[in-house]
Amino acid sequence: MNAEGGLRRKGLKGLLLAGVTASFAGWRVAFAQRMNSGRLISLEDMVQPVVKGAKLLKQDVQIVAPVLADNGSLVPLQINVQSPMTDQDHVTHVYLLSQRNPVTQVAVFHFGPWNGRAEVNTRIRLAGTQDVVALARFSNGEFRFNQMEIIVTESACVDAS
């Protein structure tokens, strides 16, 4: 009876040790998965380096993207600008800006009347849930923009390996 009890105790000890090690391993994984990187910057700080005080309106620009993106390393995104795209009135640039990414200016697209339609489709990286701003510069020097919040469950810029 006595010897049997000792054996049982040993087994319990082993179980306890295994449990502690497992929880430590779990903690390390949790630590490696930081959800968001960088800090959120205001719309003014995002837009003003490009606009430089020119006229800015929130119209005629549309962003088509998933509201909830599972993988921040690959978010499909479409920018649609309403413009006749004639020689007199067309879009010259489209700036894609992000609120939280380490590099605010994701990309710049150059357009001209030869494009026929001011639309671009691409795939971007997002470091966490944030607002994305599409800023279009028109041939008369005016800027128009739109913003959209994209929820990202798994951020880019975080080492998963």
User: Which residues make up the interface to another protein (CB under 8 A)?
Assistant: 73-75, 78, 96, 98, 101-103, 105-112, 114-117, 119-126, 156-157, 159, 161
Closest C-alpha among 130, 17, 10 to residue 72: 130
Which pair of structure tokens corresponds to residue 125? Answer: 């990286």
Query: Which one, 13 or 34, has the nearer CB to another protein?
Result: 34
Query: Which one, 25 or 74, has the nearer CB to another protein?
Result: 74
User: Closest separation between CB of residue 32 and another protein, Å?
Assistant: 11
User: Closest separation between CB of residue 115 and another protein, Å?
Assistant: 5
Q: Which amino acid is at 98?
A: S
User: Closest separation between CB of residue 19 and another protein, Å?
Assistant: 29
CA distance 94 to 139: 12
Query: Which one, 44 or 159, has the nearer CB to another protein?
Result: 159
User: Closest separation between CB of residue 65 and another protein, Å?
Assistant: 13
CA distance 22 to 114: 62
Q: Which amino acid is at 131?
A: D
Using DSSP bridges, classify how beta strands 61-64 and 75-81 pair: parallel, antiparallel or unpaired: antiparallel
CA distance 131 to 136: 16
Query: Which one, 19 or 112, has the nearer CB to another protein?
Result: 112
